[in-house]
Amino acid sequence: MFGFLLGTACLVGLIWVVKGPRHPACGRWGSPHFRDHDERRSFGARAFSRWLFERLDTTPGQERVLRAALDDLMDGLHAARRDLEDSRKDLARALRAEAFDAEAMGEVFARHDAALAALRRTAMDGLGRTHEVLDDKQRQRLADLIESERGRRWHGPYRTHG
C-alpha cells in the first residue's frame, strides 16, 4: 500500500514538473529565476558572453555594446535561417513540378544572396563597434581567443576543454 502511494506521489510530481505552472513572469520550470529577461538569447549564449567578458575584463558599458552587437548578429542569423527554411519549400515545389523551373530557383538563390549580404553588413557593423569599444589589450586578448584552439572549441560552462 505504501509503495502505491509513493508511486502515485512521484507520478503527480513528475506531471507537475513537466507541465508546471505557467505564469507570464516564469520560465519553463515555473520560477522567474530560470528565465532570462532577454528571451532571444539561450543559456549557452549568456554563458558564452559571461565567459568572454570575464576573459576580456570588460566594463559594464563595453558589455552593453558587445551584447548589442551579438544580439544584432543573432537576429541577422535567425532571419537568414527563416529565409533558408522558406527556400526548402521552394525547392520541394520545384522538384514536384512537371518541368524544372530554373527561373524560380534563380529567384531563390537571389534571396539567399540578399540575406547573406545583409548578414555581412550586420557582422561588419558589429565587428566595427567591437573594435571601437575595446582597448588595445582587450582586442589583443580577443584576437588570441579567436585564434586559439580553446576559442574554437567552447562548448559551454559544463563541458571540459580537453
**pLDDT by residue (tens digit) across 52-86?**
899 999 999 999 999 999 899 989 888 888 888 88
* 141's grid cell: 586578448
11 within a domain of the structure (yes/no): yes
Through-space distance between the first and last CA atoms of the chain, rounded to whole angstroms: 50
Output 57-65 pairs: Cβ under 8 A, ≥24 positions apart: 57/138, 58/134, 58/138, 61/133, 62/133, 62/134, 62/138, 65/129, 65/130, 65/133
Rounded Cα gap, residues 147 and 110, in angstroms = 33
Kindly give, in sequence order, each residue whose CB lies less than 8 Å from that of residue 22, ignoring residues fewer than 6 positions away.
30
pLDDT mean across residues, the chain:
78
Determine the structural domain holding residue 21 and report its residue range.
1-35
13 within a domain of the structure (yes/no): yes
Please check whether residue 39 is in contact with residue 24, taking contact to mean a CB–CB distance below 8 angstroms.
Answer: no
146 within a domain of the structure (yes/no): no
Of the candidates 34, 38, 80, the one whose C-alpha atom is nearest the C-alpha of residue 63 is 38
Q: How does pLDDT run across 17-55, given as a tens digit for each residue?
A: 666 555 454 444 444 444 444 445 566 777 888 888 999
pLDDT at position 94: 84
27 within a domain of the structure (yes/no): yes
137 within a domain of the structure (yes/no): no
61 within a domain of the structure (yes/no): no
pLDDT at position 18: 64
The number of distinct structural domains making up the chain is 1
Does the pTM surpass 0.85? The reply is no
* 146's grid cell: 579567436
26 within a domain of the structure (yes/no): yes
* 96's grid cell: 514536384
83 within a domain of the structure (yes/no): no
Position 36, amino acid:
D
Rounded Cα gap, residues 159 and 11, in angstroms = 32
Cα distances (Å, whole numbers) of residue 62 to 16, 37, 58, 131: 42, 19, 6, 11
Q: How does pLDDT run across 112-121, given as a tens digit for each residue?
A: 899 889 999 9
Neighbours of 19 (CB within 10 A): 9
